[in-house]
Structure formats: structure tokens, C-alpha cells
Amino acid sequence: MAPTSMEHGEISSNVLHHLGVHIFEHQLGRSYTAGTTFHVGDRVVKPDVAFVSTDRLPEDRRKGSPIPPDLAVEVVSPSDKQSDVTEKAFAYLKAGTRLVWVIEPVAKTVMVYRSETDFTLLTCEDTLTGEDVVEGFACSVAELFE
């Protein structure tokens, strides 16, 4: 994998800040950075940002997660192929992840996946929500790119 750019890091940090504060203040579970591994089907992945609800947190958290996250966030890098990004989003969903956000820095959009047939494209004019996965979370898409 190619190293991530500063832009990639900034967007990931913005997501983690907005999402993490909400998760912490409402004691919904834990948010995780890109260094954390998760088992997704037969592979081990490191989403750019992830969330696991309190009731699903593994007891032993001194190693990578044996379960997929409830929410996985992927920030698209210039070297990523769209087909690979979509396939990864579907792999999360097949493994049990309930919500996937794929953030596209060039177009400044977020593709929100709920299933392989239920997805929505959000622009900077829209509000990103945690739906029933991160209840009460809302943030303008534009804030992710500031």
C-alpha cells in the first residue's frame, strides 16, 4: 500500500474528532484509528476510522478485534481503484458491519453503504448521520473536508 497523504490524514482526523466526541459524550462504545485491526470475513483490515458499540466490545482488547466494526470509514486514496474500494465496502457489510462510509476527497463526497443494494451519495450540501448505528450523530459533510 502506498503511504497516505496529509489530506487523507486530515480527513480521517476530522471524522475521528467529530465522531469520537459524540461516541465518548454519549457512552456509545469506542472509536478506533487506522492502526487497529478488525477481522472482516477471512481477512484482516484496518479501516481509517471505526466504531464498535459498547454491547459488542470484545472483553480482551489487547489485540486486534475478532469481530467487524459496527461502522467502518474508508478515505479513498489517489492510488485506490474504485472497484477495490466498493469491494472492500461490500466485504465489511457481508461480515456484519452495519454501516460503511467511503469518503472521496477529490469530489468531496461520502458514499453511505447500508447494504449492497442500499447506498446513498452525500455531497457537501448534505448532513452525514450515524443513523441507527451511532445514534444521534450528525455532521455536515463539508466539515469533514475543512
Which is it for the CA torsion 90, 100, 79, 122, positive or negative?
A: positive
pLDDT digit string, tens, across residues 59-69: 888 888 999 99
Q: With bands split at pLDDT 50, 70 and 90, how would you rate the model's confidence at 23?
A: very high
CA distance 35 to 104: 20
Enclosing H/E stretch for 53 = strand 49-53
CA distance 27 to 8: 27
CA distance 139 to 21: 12
Which residues are CB-contacts of 27 (< 8 A; sequence separation ≥ 6)? 54
Average pLDDT over residues 65-84: 93
Predicted TM-score (pTM) of the model is 0.95
**Predicted confidence (pLDDT) at residue 3 exceeds the cutoff of 80:** no
**Closest among 73, 47, 61, 43 to 139, alpha carbons compared:** 73
Q: With bands split at pLDDT 50, 70 and 90, how would you rate the model's confidence at 32?
A: very high
pLDDT of residue 84: 92
Q: For the domain with range 6-144, which CATH number is right: 3.40.640.10, 3.90.1570.10, 3.60.10.10, 3.30.450.40?
A: 3.90.1570.10
